[in-house]
Structure 1
């Protein structure tokens, strides 16, 4: 009895004792919303009581967020520049391949012309 919660809605299910323990119903969405409102009120009271603690949370986690954003954007810019360079290299290779294949065809045709003389 001492370990039972004060709020009956906080338990997973409401229990009615009638000879045997039976589950009546699971808490509805209203119970969930009430628990969220209670948690919000506790956090609000704590933030009002200890503003410097919450300010330090904002500074630390905000700093981590800014650093992560900076590194993410830098990674994306690096990936974009690598993609551009790869595309330029691919274009250069494609432009060079037809020219080199034409040279191979010319060399093959000139070698076949010489024995016919």
Structure 2
């Protein structure tokens, strides 16, 4: 079985990229593989914002993230550099844990595969 690291680069307004990542992650984990971390980078940091509001008739990604963590307990890492650069409140990030690029790089170095979702 393989170890994966996934990274998301798309904002919540691009729900297709996020849903593709979540569907891939669920399939990967239920197939017996391991995901060491999911890293949110660039515009994906907005998934952790309490001020990013999605219309009620659209997919509620914050609920999707929470459900995923509750079911699979996979670390969701939020790039501190990207978050601070964009003024995100890093003290309130929901199911996401603030992490640096070094931590992400170490995870990728140990993984069998790294996939980006943009």
Q: TM-score, normalised by structure 1?
A: 0.18
- Please state which structure has a larger fraction of its residues in strand: 2
- Please state which structure has a larger fraction of its residues in helix: 1
Greater relative contact order structure (CA < 8 Å, 6+ sep): 2
